[in-house]
Amino acid sequence: MLVPIILTAMLIPGCRSAEAAPETASESRHQLQWITPILRAPRLEQHTFPSAAAKTNVSFFIWTPQQYETERSRQFPVLYWLHGTGGGVPEVAKLAAHFGSAIRAGKTPPMLVVFANGLADNMWCDSKDGRVPMETVVVRELVPRIDSAFRTLARREGQLIEGFSMGGYGAARLGFKYHDLFGAVSILAGGPLDPELLGPRTAARPEERERILREVFGGDLEDFKAQSPWALAEQNAAAVRGRTHVRMATGSRDLTQQLNRRFSDHLKPLAIPHSFTVVPGVGHDTPALFEGLGEANWAFYRSVFNDKSPPADH
């Protein structure tokens, strides 16, 4: 029986080289977040590893179910959870409890839940200037580290990447890009999923759009477009189609709803099977979205780790 590991990844700050310009207050703030504050919660541990890409130690959290101790020969699949803008540390304990209670109730297979460490708003990309190797740290360093240090099902069928808000954007872009690494992609209230970076948040705050473009993409909109889930879905449709479980969900009161619907419509002519659920009455709220999804949420995880066929489009 497959036993999933859930990894929850957060954005990871960059590290300037010795030749770089003097660091600003913003850069110093980001660098301090390579190691997050310690959290105390049942079965939750913080670990660190030396990152060659970031040139410093990077921390992550991992939650393990009781079965990890009692079933010593068992290997566990992986779900990577990516947080939204602002950082995900305050949510870690609640998310661990959320998955833990479902596993104990038999609603979903036992999982390891790993929360990677990262910055608040680096879009799950390697920044164009090389200072924030976010994607490299997660994909090239963290995933192999987890596979070497824990009993994982180190193959795509045992690895699910999921995220909320900016994390949903990250799950989409990393899931479609590294389709040989992740067998499933879960996009929850994802944003920005449009190819123009003109979602509701940046439309209301044009200066925020310019800052993201400048700090992450070197002020180059074409670089943003090339790295977006929109483009990656087009490029890798044949590799994803029929092989990868893809689900999307958002609330009816969530400002990201229209762009999530637009992205779902974009996947249809690409013939990428996926589900798209709009939960009535829910805003931009992770716990409320999970609650509104109800049993369908846990059925998704069961299908990912136990069934061979991706969920049908609807």
Per-residue 3-state assignment (H helix, E strand, C coil) for 221-268: HHHHHHHCHHHHHHHCHHHHCCCCEEEEEEECCCCCHHHHHHHHHHHC
What domains, with CATH codes, occur in the chain? Answer: 6-306 (3.40.50.1820)
The answer to whether 8 and 83 have CB atoms below 8 angstroms apart is yes
Q: How many whole angstroms separate alpha carbon 35 and alpha carbon 17?
A: 18
Q: How many whole angstroms separate alpha carbon 94 and alpha carbon 42?
A: 11
The pLDDT tens digits for 137-187 are 999 999 999 999 999 999 999 999 999 998 999 999 999 999 999 999 999
Q: How many whole angstroms separate alpha carbon 3 and alpha carbon 301?
A: 10
Amino acid identity at 152:
T
Instruction: Please state whether 294 falls in left (phi above 0), alpha (psi between -120 and 50) or beta.
Output: left
pTM of this structure: 0.87
The 10 Å Cβ neighbour count of residue 285 is: 16
The answer to whether 305 and 2 have CB atoms below 8 angstroms apart is yes
Give the CA radius of gyration of the chain.
Answer: 18
Question: Which distant-in-sequence residues (6+ apart) come within 8 Å of 34 by Cβ?
Answer: 12, 13, 15, 51, 54, 56, 57, 58, 59, 117
Pairing of strands 184-188, 159-164: parallel
Q: Tokens representing 203?
A: 């439309």
Confidence of residue 64 (pLDDT cuts 50, 70, 90): very high
Lowest mean pLDDT across 54-68, 229-243, 296-310: 296-310
Q: How many whole angstroms separate alpha carbon 63 and alpha carbon 170?
A: 21
The pLDDT tens digits for 271-299 are 999 999 999 999 999 999 999 999 999 99
96 has pLDDT over 60: yes
Q: How many whole angstroms separate alpha carbon 246 and alpha carbon 183?
A: 9
Q: What percent of the chain has pLDDT over 70?
A: 87
Nearest Cα neighbor of 37 from 115, 136, 133, 98 is: 115
Lowest mean pLDDT across 3-12, 45-54, 268-277, 302-311: 3-12
The answer to whether 128 and 23 have CB atoms below 8 angstroms apart is no
pLDDT of residue 14: 30
